[in-house]
């Protein structure tokens, strides 16, 4: 890929209010000398995600590890005693012996965690449960959205239902997001349609010129989330920006693909366009 950016490492920022941010520095460093190392500057590290393991007390980072030509298609795992690092890099592998490119991690209410990744030349998504220590995948894996060419998965849960936002596969160019829902995290997953509300047609059809990366629940505000997305700048990837917008779950989907006895099974997922917005006064990071 002519667009690959050298691995500097993974940076961490902290905030008490999601507005003022403190740079906590590089918590997982790239490797300058050892050419065979996964984190050598010439390779690719994308989509790092960190979850806390309640049993081991460790913070575990999963990430997409690749070479400059995107032929390695693996996940990497690192671990730390603190969210601000330093993280120790453990290894990389192809989960379930499958290609893994865009990926995310989802931790359920019961402490079970899952890896979700694009596979088979990005034509389908796979989901697999992690081991209890979150340091590896178990053998339990399901394929879903087969032949749909979706990537950049972001999972969240509301009222016992699992939801996911995905993107189409158009390289660094933005495209139309889709929302999906399931009663079980391992599926079956059904497609609800585009979640984007507001702005003009071009904004909605390009997911507001961005691509999903994470959905953050807002504690204390039922059914309210922040949709977090990357606004890629292909001509200067280092200068890519973030788009954060309010996401809500509620109401009837207006273009649901799957109806049971003509009644929609799922609530609508809505991502609202705002040039500027603020969290409601009642929100506290309790």
What pLDDT shows up at residue 221?
85
What pLDDT shows up at residue 257?
53
What pLDDT shows up at residue 282?
67
What pLDDT shows up at residue 266?
82
**What are the angstrom distances between the C-alpha of 47 and each of 150, 202, 230?**
15, 26, 10
What pLDDT shows up at residue 145?
96
**pTM for the full model?**
0.92
Q: Are 163 and 225 in contact (CB under 8 A)?
A: no
What pLDDT shows up at residue 227?
97
Cβ-based burial of 105 (10 A; exposed 0-12, middle 13-18, buried ≥19): buried
Architecture of domain 148-285: 5 Propeller (2.115)
Please, what are the averages of pLDDT over each run of 10 residues along the chain (286 residues)?
Answer: 77 92 97 96 96 98 96 98 97 98 97 98 97 98 96 96 96 95 94 92 95 93 93 91 94 57 73 92 63
What pLDDT shows up at residue 285?
56
Q: Provide the greatest CA pair distance for the chain.
A: 62
What pLDDT shows up at residue 254?
56
**Token match 């099974």: residue?**
265
What pLDDT shows up at residue 124?
97
| Structural tokens at position 219 | 């504690």
**What are the angstrom distances between the C-alpha of 88 and each of 14, 27, 97?**
20, 9, 24
Within 8 A by CB and 6+ apart from 3, the residues are: 172, 234, 237
What pLDDT shows up at residue 5?
79
What pLDDT shows up at residue 3?
66
């Amino acid at each position: 890929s002519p667009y690959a950016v050298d691995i500097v490492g993974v940076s961490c920022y902290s905030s008490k209010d999601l507005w003022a941010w403190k740079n906590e520095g590089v918590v997982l460093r790239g490797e300058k000398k050892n050419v065979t190392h996964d984190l050598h500057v010439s390779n690719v590290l994308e989509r790092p995600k960190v979850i806390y393991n309640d049993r081991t007390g460790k913070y575990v980072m999963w990430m997409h590890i690749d070479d400059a030509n995107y032929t390695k298609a693996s996940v990497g795992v690192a671990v730390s005693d603190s969210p601000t690092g330093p993280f120790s890099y453990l290894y990389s592998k192809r989960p379930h012996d499958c290609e893994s490119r865009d990926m995310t991690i989802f931790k359920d209410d019961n402490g079970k965690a899952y890896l979700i990744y694009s596979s088979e030349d990005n034509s389908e998504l796979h989901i697999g449960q992690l081991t209890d220590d979150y340091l590896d995948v178990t053998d339990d894996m399901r394929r879903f959205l087969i032949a749909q060419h979706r990537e950049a998965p972001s999972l969240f849960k509301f009222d016992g239902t699992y939801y996911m936002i995905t993107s189409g596969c158009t390289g660094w160019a933005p495209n139309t997001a889709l929302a999906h829902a399931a009663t079980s995290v391992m599926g079956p997953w059904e497609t609800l349609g585009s979640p984007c509300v507001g702005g003009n047609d071009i904004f909605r059809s390009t997911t507001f010129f961005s691509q999903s990366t994470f959905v953050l629940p807002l504690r204390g505000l039922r059914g309210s989330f922040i949709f977090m997305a990357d606004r890629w700048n292909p001509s200067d990837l280092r200068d890519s920006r973030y788009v954060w917008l309010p996401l809500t779950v509620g109401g009837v989907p207006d273009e649901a693909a799957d109806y049971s006895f003509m009644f929609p099974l799922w609530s609508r997922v809505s991502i609202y366009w705002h040039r500027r917005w603020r969290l409601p006064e009642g929100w506290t990071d309790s």
